């Protein structure tokens, strides 16, 4: 993968803050002509630096929602069992993030559901039904003090 320079980093910083910027606006902010800026954005996308562009919604505007962090402890440490669990997580829309971690816990999930009934149904489908899940611990978020998606660029 090609190295990126300071202009590329600046483009990435700006797009992380507001991907709705037009190419003309972005070019002006980073000090390039619009064609040169567009060429760089295309290259950054083709090289995989820009994985996708999304719209972040404000969950508080969408009605009641529970945010939970779930620690999952597996019974056996076998790659194929972990892969099967990850595939089931991939197919579960309520799981917004999944991290395989080191230490006492095997996976950390970030989950969003409308209520406890929906969370219990998720547990039945994903956790209780998997014989390799030894136990899990649920932490319910009382409020979100920080949520950031931007990656710091040197």
- Under the phi-then-psi rule, with left for phi > 0, alpha for psi from -120 to 50, and beta for the rest, what region is 71? beta
Q: What is the pLDDT of residue 77?
A: 84
Domain extent for 89: 59-140
Structure tokens at 146: 């920080």
Residues 73, 133 contacting (CB under 8 angstroms): yes
Q: What is the pLDDT of residue 1?
A: 59
What is the model's pTM? 0.86
Q: Are residues 78 and 112 in the same domain?
A: yes
Residues 120, 86 contacting (CB under 8 angstroms): no
Query: What whole-number distance in Å separates Cα of residue 12 and Cα of residue 43?
Result: 12
Q: Are residues 97 and 118 in the same domain?
A: yes
Q: Are residues 68 and 120 in the same domain?
A: yes
Residue 154 within a domain: no
Query: What whole-number distance in Å separates Cα of residue 109 and Cα of residue 5?
Result: 35
Residues 69, 110 contacting (CB under 8 angstroms): yes
pLDDT along the chain (154 residues), means of 10: 89 96 97 97 97 91 94 92 96 97 96 97 96 97 92 90
Residue 126 within a domain: yes
Could you give the number of structural domains in the chain? 2
Alpha helix (H) residue ranges in 23-127: 23-30, 34-46, 79-90, 116-122
Q: Are residues 66 and 108 in the same domain?
A: yes
């Amino acid at each position: 993968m090609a190295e990126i320079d300071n202009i590329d980093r600046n483009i990435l910083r700006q797009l992380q803050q507001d991907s709705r910027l037009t190419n003309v606006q972005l070019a002006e902010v980073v000090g390039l002509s619009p064609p040169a800026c567009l060429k760089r954005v295309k290259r950054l996308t083709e090289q995989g630096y820009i994985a996708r562009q999304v719209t972040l919604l404000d969950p508080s505007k969408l009605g009641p929602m529970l945010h939970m962090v779930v620690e999952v402890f597996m019974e056996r440490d076998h790659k194929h069992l972990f892969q099967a669990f990850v595939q089931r997580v991939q197919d579960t829309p309520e799981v917004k993030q999944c991290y395989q971690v080191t230490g006492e816990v095997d996976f950390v999930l970030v989950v969003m559901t409308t209520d406890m009934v929906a969370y219990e149904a998720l547990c039945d489908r994903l956790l209780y039904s998997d014989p390799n899940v030894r136990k899990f611990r649920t932490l319910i978020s009382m409020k979100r003090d920080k949520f950031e998606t931007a990656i710091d660029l040197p």
